[in-house]
Amino acid sequence: MYSENEYIGEIGEAAPLYEQQEHTSDIPLPPGMPFMLLVAWAAICLVGFAAIFIMKQPVIGVFIIGIPTFIGMIIRPTFALCVFMLILPTGAGVAVEGAFTLNKGVGLALAASFMMNLLISRARLKMSSKALLFAVAYFVLVMFSLFINSYRSIVLLRLVTKAQYLGFSLIVYWILTSNTSKTLLWCLRSYVIGSLGTIALTFITGAAIRTIEAESDGRYTATLGNVINANHLSALVALALLASIYLIIKDKKLFWRLIYLIGILVLPIMLLKIGSRGTLVALTFTMISPLLFIRQVWQKPSRAILLVVFIAIVSLLAIFYIKSGRLGGKLEQRLTDVNYAKESVGGRMRFNRAAMRVATRQFAGTGLIGWFEKTSVSHYPHNDFFFILGIYGLPAASMWLMMMIFTMLLIRRVPLSPEKLYARSILFFLLMIGLKGMYIDMKFYWLFLAVIWSIERYSFLSPEQSEQFEYDDDVFYEGLPQESGL
């Protein structure tokens, strides 16, 4: 047993409670002021959107929205993270001639917010997760592989990109772990709203129709543009669906539950319209994965039955929607033709075998350009692990495996809660889509890993307990369990 001045840390050792009583990343504001600022920001955004869509002055509208948004991001990094989650579903679709995207712009603003608030708030980044340490080691080995395998004219650009992924995941982890539990709630709310809003804009602006016409099989490959691919888009939509399911259980407010319900109804239809088989299979297995944990099913049999009923209803509705002919003949054939799927899997296995062969000869991998020359195949491996193994080498692949193992152990130590189930579903989904695609070099992949790494804090603190713990130095938090596990 431990005293009230101690808590059980992630590594299972006693740590003093005062180590958690640190400054948050957000600049302190008087009570009620954050809500007033949020309302004012929303009003300014409406004016900016009116300038863009009604007055047809996009440049003026962007400045009206962008300047106060950046100021708000500097004041509150939690707001900066929410803004980023809001625009994340657009992918790279909103761009200026493909050179500078909205996604990148908000990402740079998030990094600037981090650097300025780190000096002001003095909230330290505590890398208490061993999985996070292996993530750092993975990126170091990846950058080493790029340095020795890439051409000198492009090596700097590639190194900067990998450093951005690492810095991005650290920033998200820092924001989530240095603020109250409402941070995760608003972060995921923003992502669900951004997903639904982006889908709505595709139909309002006609971008969805243009996207369908550009594809031979009638699939959606992007939302507000044509820069991202269908597999990327489907993964973003599936993660929004998982967030909606978690939030409708966690969030008790009726208004927000209506939003999540809309997401649960609309997002599966969007997944069928995109037609990514790998994502649909991964999402199906993710939904049934809680049934694999017998002990938890035995403890909560009513929830297990409810999950089975929910999966059955969704499956029947999806089959009915496909058979109704609303998807179009080519897209329907893509989702139902078994022989086509077998040929696709067989072709991709050839690339994976090439990665295993080259790993025995190239200790640090082939690099992105050298892959085609040294393997004589036409595509990169369509699997996260084999992609790392062939392109970045065996050491980087080993660090990725260790990172995943310790991420699993972190989730295992979290007490049974909605947060535990949500973190497990994210990890399961990322691993499943990684079996048939390349997602390791996508920004959302590392963002949601950072969410998993921070989930232990949110499983311990309710919003009310978190606020009391943060602002009252004389109150000891008594809600942390003395033991944790399955």
Instruction: State percent of the chain over pLDDT 90.
Output: 22
Quick one: tokens of 389?
A: 């193994």
pLDDT, position 138? 93
Q: How does DSSP classify residue 118?
A: H
Is the pLDDT at 23 greater than 70, yes or no?
A: no
Quick one: tokens of 459?
A: 């499983």
> Euclidean distance between the first and final Cα of the chain, in Å?
19
pLDDT, position 423? 93
Q: Which of 76, 81, 164, 82 is nearest to 123 (CA)?
A: 76
For 244-300, how does the pLDDT look when each residue is reduced to its tens digit (9 = 90+)? 999 998 888 999 999 999 999 899 888 888 877 888 888 988 888 777 666 666 666
Q: Is 37 helix (H, G, I), strand (E, B) or coil?
A: helix
The CA distance from 272 to 387, in Å, is 27
pLDDT, position 31? 82
pLDDT, position 334? 59
Confidence of residue 422 (pLDDT cuts 50, 70, 90): very high
Is the pLDDT at 432 greater than 50, yes or no?
A: yes
Confidence of residue 230 (pLDDT cuts 50, 70, 90): confident
Is the pLDDT at 121 greater than 80, yes or no?
A: no
pLDDT, position 475? 31
Handedness of CA 248, 246, 193, 318 (dihedral sign): negative
User: Is residue 208 within 8 Å of residue 220, measured between CB atoms?
Assistant: yes
Quick one: tokens of 114?
A: 């981090």
Half-sphere exposure (CA, 13 Å, Cβ side) for 29?
A: 14
pLDDT, position 94? 55
Q: What is the mean pLDDT of residues 363-386?
A: 82
pTM above 0.95, yes or no: no
Q: Which residue has the higher pLDDT, 39 or 468?
A: 39
Q: Is 282 helix (H, G, I), strand (E, B) or coil?
A: helix
pLDDT, position 213? 62
Q: Which residue has the higher pLDDT, 116 or 445?
A: 445
User: Is residue 24 within 8 Å of residue 12, measured between CB atoms?
Assistant: no
User: Is residue 220 within 8 Å of residue 334, measured between CB atoms?
Assistant: no
pLDDT, position 2? 38
Confidence of residue 4 (pLDDT cuts 50, 70, 90): very low
The CA distance from 107 to 69, in Å, is 13
Going from the C-alpha of 197 to that of each of 75, 86, 105, 266, 467, the distances in angstroms are: 25, 9, 19, 11, 30
Average pLDDT, the chain: 77
pLDDT, position 216? 61
Half-sphere exposure (CA, 13 Å, Cβ side) for 462?
A: 7
pLDDT, position 464? 40
The CA distance from 471 to 481, in Å, is 21
Is the pLDDT at 399 greater than 90, yes or no?
A: yes
Which region, left, alpha or beta, applies to residue 377 given φ > 0 means left and ψ of -120 to 50 means alpha? beta
Which amino acid is located at 144 in the chain?
F
For 437-448, how does the pLDDT look when each residue is reduced to its tens digit (9 = 90+)? 788 888 899 999
pLDDT, position 485? 33
Q: Which of 144, 166, 164, 139 is nearest to 155 (CA)?
A: 144
For 159-190, how does the pLDDT look when each residue is reduced to its tens digit (9 = 90+)? 888 888 888 899 999 888 888 778 899 999 99
The CA distance from 41 to 473, in Å, is 32
Q: What are phi and psi of 38, to 5 degrees?
A: -65, -45
Q: Which residue has the higher pLDDT, 138 or 441?
A: 138
Buried b (16+ CB within 10 A) or exposed e, 368-392: bebbeebbebeebbbbbbbbbbbbb
Q: How does DSSP classify residue 28?
A: P
Is the pLDDT at 154 greater than 50, yes or no?
A: yes
Confidence of residue 64 (pLDDT cuts 50, 70, 90): very high
Q: What is the CA 393 to chain-centroid distance, rounded?
A: 25
For 52-62, how does the pLDDT look when each residue is reduced to its tens digit (9 = 90+)? 888 888 889 88
Helices and strands of the chain, counted as H and E runs: 22, 4
State the SS3 of 175-189: HHHCCCCHHHHHHHH
Is the pLDDT at 201 greater than 90, yes or no?
A: no
Q: What is the mean pLDDT of residues 213-238?
A: 71
pLDDT, position 402? 95
Torsion of CA 102, 107, 110, 115, to 10 degrees: -140
For the ranges 10-14, 119-123, 213-217, 298-302, which has the lowest average pLDDT? 10-14
The CA distance from 171 to 178, in Å, is 11
